[in-house]
């Protein structure tokens, strides 16, 4: 017994220690994660964000250095406060307040003293910074906008929030990320890759050199520059034309699907979201819930397309072979579909065939064609679904697949929708119940982008390329293949020519005869769409939307355009004029119809937009 | 002087383990004290370079220790012991205060810590006393004598203050027990420890309830043997009295730092930035090692100096982080092997002197090993004593080297006589 007690104790403690070590080193991994945290500091080296150019190589946005004066309160040594304040251009009281705030936040962590100094202030200050222990200058990179337009296209960058950090471990608190527009869509291209430095720290949190001689460190990769399909001149002109109006302009190059112009109105100067006043300005834009400057009307606005939709009704009728080009339909001031009242029409020659129907935008003609297209099939359900399929092939009723982060599907109803709405099979419904679809009212909703796209499809006589904003990524040319694929519609190419001719006649002798542009063969279609809002819970009709779609020249089209002006009344009044001016600007580079330009530039619809908010009775369609 | 052929008679297992531990110790000290400011390898401002020097000097010490006739240690044990006591007393006059403890004689940039050498001296003196033909450990008189021998240096060390080093002298209870000291002392010590820890963990009242319960159960079970009620009451009273005095001492005599150290181990206070910082950092470093460790000089915790006193008392945390579970196990096994080997050899000693001394060496090494590793791995309160052969420090290294190699010499001389 006496001989073995000590040996037993030695062996026993050996076992105990082994177990303890096994627990600490093998089982309990919590300390391993902890140690990574407290012994290694990760420093990031942020690369320059890529530039954006327009389709002609004009620089749209670059970067500017910005300099923040920072302080670590604990490290501050006594200083000549007055001299320092003079350098910073602040009062002594300001300085004391800032220091107090920084100390309250943390004595050990850096706080901002003066954010975003300009280059001149930085130059004079940087020479003398050595005098002020505890203060230093932090260089940051901000966007510098070379143009005051295209804010909705380029988008903006903002600090990442928690939701993003949780989803994407690349980002750390305080970093910037593209939050809208191209900045968001091409974030990974533009941002580049940040460099990482692992710094070994000691227990006082001091740096003691690179971790493992820096073998895990990486260099930052500069972001790639991108060329956009936007034409800066056209974009700027479009935004000028849309001043004091709400709505938008989308122009597409039909032969490529490249988006030439993407104007939403009202918009804002992109420079507002950079610099010292960013937060103030953003708040102002964000809370403008009436004009909604941050709301992209051309991508997110779903509107009844109105008469331009009749071109599609015509195409479907031709494809379904329910009408030929010679047959005329009489219009007695409207279309009588057996209801208590007829669907009205405006004054025009009668009877009309396809071309005249388009040129004069005859409601009766297209209601007839639409009804026949549906009633061709045994049941209206079948008819509607065929109709829906045709429209879907134009990219309607769904996201188009363009490379911008916002958008809406629009709406093309199908049989399920009407079965639900009319409680089928309890109650039956017929083609006439959906007759408003024929003329782009009723249940049909399109975004201005979709309108531009179907116009481009007609210009191409039957196919379209997915609209896109990216022309070239400089460096790795990785434009998605999908932007180079033709999408054919279910309507045969031969049926497009008469519709194109009809749209040409709109300018020759139809609803847009007064807004011709000399020397350019434009094909267009006016639209005037009824719309409603709710005031105090009551459905109130507002002045019609002014809509216009067009492409030019007639043969080998270079531009397809959709213009939407909210509550602008006649399609030719605002949208038609704007479309003509845009086409001329793009094709000729100069404006001959100065009268039209003057009308648009000086005109304002602000009174119209104020009506629903005035609280007073108002009249519409004046 | 021993003839060279006798060197072969030394127990090479002990020597090999010694070499292995010292070499591994130095590698870990190198890693723990590595810094960018070093002016080359022989910059003696650097801790690892100084330890290298200490190791070289200990080789000379070893040669001396082995060269001296083994009978010398037995004959001059008392003289060595008295010199050692004087050196401890001398500290009160000439000692240099380093980080709060007057444990050092200072010679320029080097210091000597007599308490490290006193262990070997006390072991020699105790062995001499116990092996005396007239000494019988069963007699109270001799027990008191032996107790005085080991208590005197401890008493001189406590006020330095260095309670950790003083604690080591408790190890001598093992050789005494081996030589016939009644097991009751060992059990008493164990029982007192259990009571002590229970009091801290559950409070004096908790212990009182526990003691009464156990006494009641025992009494009830043994009731047919007609147990002596007075004895039970007396024992219970002593236990309860002990518990309350512990409670009193703990709360009124101990300083806060002592209380904290116990509270941390008992899990009463978890305070990663406060007093438990050392232990927490040490555990983090060890845990960071995983199965195979981060590799030599690659430990992030070690490089960042997160573990305080890592090159001295907490050197094992470097092993844990850089050499992993596997490396830690090697070190544990080396220590277990070393101590076990010493005990086995002690049992083989022909002289009682050799046996008592050997047991003393084993017990001292064991206590250091147990307390140090227990502290570093967080299962024992923080008591600042070094890990033998591993921790940085010339005095400690030399003290342990002398302690061990006197035994190697004594053991080797057995063969010489045969």
Say what angle helices A363-375 and A310-319 make with each other, to 10 degrees: 40
Least confident of A447-451, A466-470, B368-372: B368-372
Q: Is the pLDDT of residue A31 over 80?
A: no
> Which residue in chain A has the smallest CA separation from B342?
A7
C-alpha gyration radius of chain A: 32
- Across A121-135, A513-527, B195-209, B240-254, the highest mean pLDDT is recorded for A513-527
Output the CA–CA distances (angstroms, integers) from residue A259 to A139, A249, A309, A581, A588, in the order listed. 36, 11, 21, 17, 18
pLDDT at site B201: 64
Q: How far is A103 from chain B (nearest CA, A)?
A: 22
Q: Which residues of B touch A205 (CB under 8 A)?
A: none
Write down all domains in chain A, each with its CATH number in brackets: 64-146 (3.90.1310.10), 232-614 (3.40.710.10)
- Measure the N-to-C terminal CA separation of chain B; round to a whole number of Å: 18
**Other Cβ atoms within 10 Å of B353 Cβ, number:** 23
Average pLDDT over residues A73-85: 84
Contact (CB<8Å) B300/A209: no
Average pLDDT over residues A304-309: 93
Q: Which residues of B touch A13 (CB under 8 A)?
A: 336, 366, 369-370, 373-374
Q: What is the DSSP letter of A130?
A: G
By CB atoms closer than 10 A (0-12, 13-18, 19+), residue A9 is middle
pLDDT at site A420: 92
Instruction: Note the pLDDT tens digit of each residue in A480-514.
Output: 888 989 999 999 999 999 999 999 999 988 888 88
* A8 lies within 8 A of chain B by CB: no
Q: Which residues of B touch A18 (CB under 8 A)?
A: 329, 332
Q: How far is A35 from chain B (nearest CA, A)?
A: 6
Average pLDDT over residues A231-256: 94
> Is B308 in contact with B277 (CB distance < 8 Å)?
yes
* A124 lies within 8 A of chain B by CB: no
Sign of the dihedral defined by the CA atoms of residues A390, A391, A397, A401, in that order? positive
* A35 lies within 8 A of chain B by CB: yes
Instruction: Note the pLDDT tens digit of each residue in B79-138.
Output: 999 999 999 998 888 888 776 677 788 877 778 889 999 999 999 999 999 988 888 888
Q: How far is B1 from chain A (nearest CA, A)?
A: 34
pLDDT at site A29: 60
Q: Which of B306, B343, B370 sits opposite A13 (nearest CB)?
A: B370
pLDDT at site B272: 42
Instruction: Note the pLDDT tens digit of each residue in B164-193.
Output: 777 788 888 889 888 888 877 877 777 777
Least confident of A307-311, A458-462, B255-259, B307-311: B255-259
Q: How far is A12 from chain B (nearest CA, A)?
A: 10
Tokens matching residue A317: 């009728």
Average pLDDT over residues A152-175: 78
How far apart are the C-alpha atoms of A188 and B381, rounded to whole Å? 54
> Is A288 in contact with A591 (CB distance < 8 Å)?
no
The pairing of strands A226-228 and A52-53 is parallel
Contact (CB<8Å) A6/B343: yes
> Is A238 in contact with A582 (CB distance < 8 Å)?
yes
Average pLDDT, chain B: 81
Q: Which of A5, A6, A19, A200 to mutate to test the interface with B (most CBs of B within 10 A)?
A: A6
How far apart are the C-alpha atoms of B227 and B28, rounded to whole Å? 59
pLDDT at site A311: 94
Contact (CB<8Å) A2/B178: yes
Contact (CB<8Å) A32/B366: no
Average pLDDT over residues A460-467: 94
pLDDT at site A42: 66
Average pLDDT over residues B388-415: 90
pLDDT at site A614: 82
A535 band by pLDDT with thresholds 50, 70 and 90 = confident
Q: Is the pLDDT of residue B269 over 50?
A: no
Least confident of A35-39, A242-246, B383-387, B390-394: A35-39
Q: What is the DSSP letter of A73?
A: G
How far apart are the C-alpha atoms of A490 and A319, rounded to whole Å? 8
How far apart are the C-alpha atoms of B95 and B114, rounded to whole Å? 10
By CB atoms closer than 10 A (0-12, 13-18, 19+), residue A424 is middle
Q: How far is A9 from chain B (nearest CA, A)?
A: 9
Q: Which of A34, A40, A202 sits opposite B305 (nearest CB)?
A: A202
Q: Is the pLDDT of residue B276 over 60?
A: no
In sequence order, the 6+-apart residues with CB closer than 8 A to the CB of B119 are B168, B169, B364, B399, B403
Q: A476 or A151, which is more confident?
A: A151
Residue of B178, B295, B387 whose CA lies nearest to A17? B387
**Other Cβ atoms within 10 Å of B182 Cβ, number:** 13
The pairing of strands A59-71 and A486-488 is unpaired
Share of chain A above pLDDT 90, in %: 47
How far apart are the C-alpha atoms of A217 and A213, rounded to whole Å? 9
Average pLDDT over residues A307-327: 93
Average pLDDT over residues A166-188: 82
Q: Is the pLDDT of residue B7 over 60?
A: no
Q: Which residues of A touch B298 (CB under 8 A)?
A: 212
Domain boundaries, chain B: 4-179+285-417, 188-253
pLDDT at site A520: 92
Sign of the dihedral defined by the CA atoms of residues A103, A104, A107, A110, in that order? negative
Window A:168-227, CB contacts with B under 8 Å: 200-203, 208-209, 211-212
Share of chain A above pLDDT 70, in %: 92
> Is A269 in contact with A148 (CB distance < 8 Å)?
yes
pLDDT at site A34: 47
Output the CA–CA distances (angstroms, integers) from residue A525 to A508, A522, A611, in the order listed. 12, 10, 28
By CB atoms closer than 10 A (0-12, 13-18, 19+), residue B150 is buried
pLDDT at site A32: 53
Q: A60 or B307, which is more confident?
A: A60
Least confident of A125-139, A232-246, A556-570, A591-605: A125-139
pLDDT at site A54: 94
Q: Which of B273, B282, B287 to mutate to test the interface with A (most CBs of A within 10 A)?
A: B287
pLDDT at site B418: 43
Average pLDDT over residues A362-384: 92
Contact (CB<8Å) A202/B304: yes
Contact (CB<8Å) B320/A21: yes
Say what angle helices A5-22 and B352-376 make with each other, to 10 degrees: 20
How far apart are the C-alpha atoms of A192 and A214, rounded to whole Å? 21
Q: B268 or A605, which is more confident?
A: A605
Average pLDDT, chain A: 87
Tokens matching residue A137: 């200058």
Q: Is the pLDDT of residue A167 over 60?
A: yes
pLDDT at site B345: 92
In sequence order, the 6+-apart residues with CB closer than 8 A to the CB of B306 are A35, A38, A39, A202, A203, B281, B284, B285
pLDDT at site A202: 65
**Other Cβ atoms within 10 Å of A443 Cβ, number:** 15
Q: Is the pLDDT of residue A345 over 90?
A: no
Tokens matching residue A151: 């804010």
How far apart are the C-alpha atoms of A48 and A492, rounded to whole Å? 49
Average pLDDT over residues A120-125: 81
pLDDT at site B1: 43
How far apart are the C-alpha atoms of B209 and B266, rounded to whole Å? 20
How far apart are the C-alpha atoms of A137 and A121, rounded to whole Å? 11
Instruction: Note the pLDDT tens digit of each residue in B28-45.
Output: 988 888 765 555 566 667
Give ∠ CA B263-B268-B269 in degrees, rounded to 5: 85
Contact (CB<8Å) A200/B286: no
pLDDT at site A196: 75
Q: Is the pLDDT of residue B325 over 50?
A: yes
Q: Which of A13, A21, A209 sits opposite B286 (nearest CB)?
A: A21
Which contacts (CB < 8 Å, 24+ apart) does range A13-16 have? A13/B336, A13/B366, A13/B369, A13/B370, A13/B373, A13/B374, A14/B332, A14/B333, A14/B335, A14/B336, A16/B379
> Which residue in chain B has the smallest CA separation from A1?
B178
Residue of B11, B17, B73 whose CA lies nearest to B332? B17
A88 band by pLDDT with thresholds 50, 70 and 90 = confident
> Which residue in chain B has the smallest CA separation from A33?
B288
> Is A138 in contact with A110 (CB distance < 8 Å)?
yes
How far apart are the C-alpha atoms of B301 and B281, rounded to whole Å? 8
Residue of A580, A504, A559 whose CA lies nearest to A251? A559
Instruction: Note the pLDDT tens digit of each residue in B250-268.
Output: 666 666 666 666 665 555 5
How far apart are the C-alpha atoms of A269 and A294, rounded to whole Å? 11
Q: Which residues of B touch A9 (CB under 8 A)?
A: 366
B274 band by pLDDT with thresholds 50, 70 and 90 = very low
Instruction: Note the pLDDT tens digit of each residue in B383-398.
Output: 778 899 999 888 999 9
Q: Which residues of B touch A33 (CB under 8 A)?
A: none
B58 band by pLDDT with thresholds 50, 70 and 90 = very high
Buried-state track B287-303, b at ≥16 Cβ within 10 A, e below 16: bbbbeebbeeeebbbbb
Q: How far is residue A153 CA from its own chain's centroid?
A: 6
Q: Is the pLDDT of residue A137 over 90?
A: no
How far apart are the C-alpha atoms of A262 and A448, rounded to whole Å? 10
Contact (CB<8Å) A30/B287: yes
For B216, the 3-state DSSP assignment is helix
B271 band by pLDDT with thresholds 50, 70 and 90 = very low
Average pLDDT over residues A272-278: 79
Is this model's pTM higher than 0.90 or not?
no
B270 band by pLDDT with thresholds 50, 70 and 90 = very low
**Other Cβ atoms within 10 Å of A435 Cβ, number:** 23
Q: Which residues of A touch B329 (CB under 8 A)?
A: 18, 21
Q: Which of A5, A9, A10 to mutate to test the interface with B (most CBs of B within 10 A)?
A: A10
Q: Is cis: bond before A351, omega within 30 of 0?
A: yes
How far apart are the C-alpha atoms of B355 and B361, rounded to whole Å? 10
């Amino acid at each position: 017994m006496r001989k073995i007690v000590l040996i037993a104790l030695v062996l026993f403690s050996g076992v105990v220690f082994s177990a303890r070590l096994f627990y600490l080193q093998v089982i309990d991994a919590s300390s391993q994660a902890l140690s990574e945290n407290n012994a290694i500091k990760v420093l990031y080296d942020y690369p320059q964000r890529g530039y954006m150019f327009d389709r002609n190589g004009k620089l749209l946005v670059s970067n500017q250095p910005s300099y923040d004066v920072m302080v670590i309160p604990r490290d501050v040594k006594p200083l000549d406060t007055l001299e320092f304040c003079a350098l910073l251009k602040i009062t002594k009281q300001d300085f004391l307040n800032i220091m107090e705030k920084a100390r309250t936040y943390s004595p050990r962590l850096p706080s901002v003293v003066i954010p975003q100094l300009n280059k001149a202030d930085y130059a004079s200050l940087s020479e003398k910074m050595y005098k002020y222990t505890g203060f230093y200058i932090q260089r940051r990179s901000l966007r510098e906008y070379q143009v005051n337009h295209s804010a909705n296209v380029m988008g903006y960058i903002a600090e990442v929030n928690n939701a993003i950090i949780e989803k994407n471990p690349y980002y750390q608190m305080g970093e910037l990320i593209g939050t809208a527009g191209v900045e968001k869509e091409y974030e990974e291209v533009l941002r580049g890759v940040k460099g990482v430095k692992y710094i070994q720290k000691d227990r006082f949190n001091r740096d003691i050199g690179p971790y493992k001689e820096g073998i895990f460190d990486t260099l930052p990769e500069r972001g790639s520059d991108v060329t956009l399909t936007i034409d800066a001149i056209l974009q700027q002109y479009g935004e000028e034309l849309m001043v004091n109006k709400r709505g938008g302009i989308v122009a597409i190059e039909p032969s490529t699907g490249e988006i030439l112009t993407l104007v939403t109105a009202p918009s804002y100067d992109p420079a507002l979201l950079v610099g010292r006043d960013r937060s103030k300005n953003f708040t102002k834009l964000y809370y403008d819930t009436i004009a909604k400057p941050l709301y992209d009307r051309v991508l997110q606005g779903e509107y009844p397309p109105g008469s331009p939709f009749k071109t599609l009704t015509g195409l479907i009728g031709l494809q379904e072979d329910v009408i030929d080009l010679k047959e005329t339909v009489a219009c007695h001031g409207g279309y009588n579909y057996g209801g208590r009242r007829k669907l009205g029409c405006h004054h025009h020659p009668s009877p009309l065939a396809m071309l005249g129907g388009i040129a004069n935008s005859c409601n009766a003609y297209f209601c007839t064609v639409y009804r026949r297209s549906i009633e061709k099939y045994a049941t209206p359900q079948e008819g509607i679904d065929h109709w829906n399929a045709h429209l879907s092939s134009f990219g309607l009723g769904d996201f188009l697949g363009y490379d911008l982060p916002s958008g809406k599907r629009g709406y093309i109803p199908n049989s399920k929708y009407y079965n639900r709405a009319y409680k089928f099979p309890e109650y039956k419904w017929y083609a006439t119940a959906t007759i408003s679809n024929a003329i782009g009212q009723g249940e049909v909703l399109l975004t201005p982008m979709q309108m531009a796209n179907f116009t481009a499809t007609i210009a191409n006589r039957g196919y379209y390329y997915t609209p896109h904003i990216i022309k070239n990524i400089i460096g790795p040319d990785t434009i998605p293949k999908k932007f180079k694929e033709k999408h054919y519609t279910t309507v045969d190419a031969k049926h497009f020519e008469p519709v194109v001719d009809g749209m040409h006649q709109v300018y020759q002798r139809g609803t847009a005869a007064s807004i011709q542009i000399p020397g350019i063969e434009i094909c267009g279609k006016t639209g005037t769409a009824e719309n409603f809002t709710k005031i105090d819970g009551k459905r109130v009709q507002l002045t019609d939307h002014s809509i216009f779609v067009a492409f030019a020249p007639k043969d080998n089209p270079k531009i397809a355009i959709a213009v939407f002006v909210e509550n602008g009344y006649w399609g030719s009044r605002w949208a038609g004029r704007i479309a003509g001016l845009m086409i001329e600007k793009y094709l000729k580079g100069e404006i001959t119809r100065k009268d039209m330009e003057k009308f648009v530039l000086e005109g304002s619809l602000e009174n119209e937009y104020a009506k629903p908010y005035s609280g007073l009775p108002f009249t519409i369609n004046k | 002087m021993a003839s060279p052929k006798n060197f072969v008679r030394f127990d090479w297992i002990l020597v090999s383990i010694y070499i292995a531990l010292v070499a591994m110790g130095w590698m870990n000290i190198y890693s723990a004290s590595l810094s960018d400011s070093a002016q080359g390898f022989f910059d003696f401002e650097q801790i690892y370079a100084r330890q290298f020097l200490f190791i070289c000097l200990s080789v000379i010490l070893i040669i001396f220790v082995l060269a001296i006739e083994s009978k010398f240690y037995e004959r001059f044990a008392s003289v060595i012991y008295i010199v050692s006591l004087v050196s401890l007393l001398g500290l009160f006059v000439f000692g240099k205060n380093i980080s709060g403890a007057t444990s050092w004689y200072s010679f320029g940039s080097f210091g000597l810590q007599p308490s490290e050498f006193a262990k070997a001296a006390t072991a020699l003196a105790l062995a001499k006393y116990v092996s005396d033909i007239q000494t019988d450990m069963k007699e109270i008189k001799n027990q008191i004598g032996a107790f005085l021998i080991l208590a005197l240096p401890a008493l001189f060390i406590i006020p330095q203050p260095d309670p950790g080093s003083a604690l080591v002298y408790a190890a001598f209870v093992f050789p005494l027990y081996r030589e016939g000291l009644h097991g009751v002392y060992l059990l008493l010590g164990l029982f007192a420890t259990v009571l002590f820890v229970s009091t801290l963990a559950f409070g004096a009242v908790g212990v009182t309830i526990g003691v009464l319960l156990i006494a009641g159960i025992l009494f009830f079970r043994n009731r047919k043997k007609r147990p002596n009620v007075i004895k039970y009451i007396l024992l219970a009273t002593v236990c309860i009295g002990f518990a309350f005095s512990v409670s009193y001492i703990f709360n009124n005599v101990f300083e806060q730092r002592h209380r904290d150290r116990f509270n941390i181990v008992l899990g009463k206070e978890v305070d990663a930035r406060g007093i438990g910082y050392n232990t927490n950092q040490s555990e983090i470093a060890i845990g960071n090692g995983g199965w195979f460790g981060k590799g030599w000089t690659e430990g992030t915790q070690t490089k960042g100096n997160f573990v305080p006193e890592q090159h001295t008392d907490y050197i094992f945390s470097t092993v844990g982080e850089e050499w992993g579970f596997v490396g830690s196990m090697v070190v544990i096994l080396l220590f277990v092997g070393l101590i076990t080997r010493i005990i086995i050899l002690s049992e083989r000693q022909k002289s009682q002197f050799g046996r008592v001394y050997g047991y003393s060496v084993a017990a001292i090494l064991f206590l250091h090993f147990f307390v140090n590793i227990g502290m570093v791995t967080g299962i024992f309160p923080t008591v600042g004593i070094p890990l033998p052969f591993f921790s940085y420090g010339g005095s400690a290294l030399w003290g342990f080297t002398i302690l061990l190699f006197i035994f190697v010499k004594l053991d080797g001389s057995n063969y010489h006589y045969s």
